[in-house]
Amino acid sequence: MKILGIESAALVASVAIIDENVTIAEYTTNFKKTHSETLLPMLDEIVKITGISLSELSAIAVSGGPGSFTGLRIGAASAKGLGLSLDLPLIHVPTLDAMALNIYSSDALIVPIMDARRNQVYTGIYKNDTKLEVKVPSMAVSVDELFEILKETDAKEKAGRAIFLGDGVPVFREYIDKNLEISHDFAPANLNRQRASNIAMLGMEMLKSGNIISADDMRPEYLRKSQAERERDVDKTDADL
């Protein structure tokens, strides 16, 4: 059962094809070039190299958010177009859940942080000793709010340690070192960003539990309204007061 994984929620563009228990191919880039220009050519490259036909796929797993609004839509449009043309189901994999798979066999709390601008991070709290456990699902919060939630979770889980990863790390590393009382580490360069094999792997599990969505219905989970809607909400609240 082969699954295609697509990841373009942030600066990383990544595609992977996995089978049961094996990653057949993965192509990941992390530099400033628009995903619109790279994502499908990268897929074409691994298809050509492996000789796998798209018709062999059972499903397409896509990094569903949160993340860059545009990045998420490029991934979603690619997955929806492939799903529609190949008549395949989609699997909407939470971006942060898949990131947490970078850390394995650890009793630490895993805390992926993505820079969400406006002084916030997209984050969640996980454990992955042998099986991924979602302790706090995806949210958009300030780093200080994250610290509070992390403290509560740490007290409950008695983990005593947290591992941070993601593109929020370079932005907030100093702040975390200075202000977080919990013992913590930062994942090394080979484990600190999104990758499509994680999306595909989590997608495989979700597929087996029937957690699929049609290509028509798939839409990203932004965790945030558009700026115009937020401003309008503020205006409405002001008016209500």
Partner 1 sequence: MKKNNIKILAIESSCDETAAAVVEDGRKVLSNIISSQIDLHTIYGGVVPEIASRKHIENINFVIRDALKEANVTFDDIDAVAVTYGPGLVGALLVGVGEAKALAYGLKKPLIGVHHIKGHVFANLIEHENLMPPFVCLIVSGGHTEIAIVKDYNDFEIVATTRDDAAGEAFDKVARSVGLGYPGGPKIDKAAKLGNPFAIEFPKARVNDSKYDFSFSGVKSAVLNYQNKANMTGEKINVNDLAASFQRAVVEVLVEHTVTVAKDYNIKNVAMAGGVASNTALRSLMEEKCSEEGLKLHFPSPVYCTDNAAMIGVAAYYEYLNGNFKDLTLNAVPNLEL
Residue among 80 and 135 whose Cβ is closer to partner 1: 80
CA angle centred on 79, ends 75 and 85, rounded to 5°: 150
Contacts with partner 1, 134-153, as mask; x by CB under 8 A: --------------------
Residues sharing a CB contact under 8 Å with residue 127, sequence separation 6 or more, in sequence order: 107, 108, 109, 110, 133, 135, 157, 159
| Closest CB 181 distance from partner 1, rounded Å | 38
Contact between 227 and partner 1 by CB under 8 A: the answer reads yes
d(CA 27, CA 223): 27
Contact between 196 and partner 1 by CB under 8 A: the answer reads no
Contact between 50 and partner 1 by CB under 8 A: the answer reads no
d(CA 12, CA 60): 18
Tokens of 216: 């028509």
Q: Which stretch binds partner 1 (CB under 8 A): 18-26, 31-39, 125-133, 140-148?
A: 31-39
* Cis amide bond preceding 66, omega within 30: yes
**DSSP character for 54?**
G
Q: Exactly one of 19, 23, 30, 77 binds partner 1 (CB under 8 A); which one?
A: 77
Q: Exactly one of 118, 151, 161, 232 binds partner 1 (CB under 8 A); which one?
A: 232
Tokens of 174: 């100093």
Contact between 235 and partner 1 by CB under 8 A: the answer reads no
8 A C-beta contact, residue 64 and residue 122: no
Q: Burial, 28: exposed, middle or buried (Cβ in 10 Å; 0-12, 13-18, 19+)?
A: middle
Contact between 234 and partner 1 by CB under 8 A: the answer reads no
Q: Which stretch binds partner 1 (CB under 8 A): 35-43, 103-111, 137-145, 179-187?
A: 35-43
Query: Binding residues for partner 1, how many (CB under 8 A)?
Result: 34
Binding site for partner 1 (CB under 8 A): 34, 36-38, 40-41, 43-44, 54, 69-70, 73-74, 76-86, 215-216, 219-220, 222, 226-229, 232
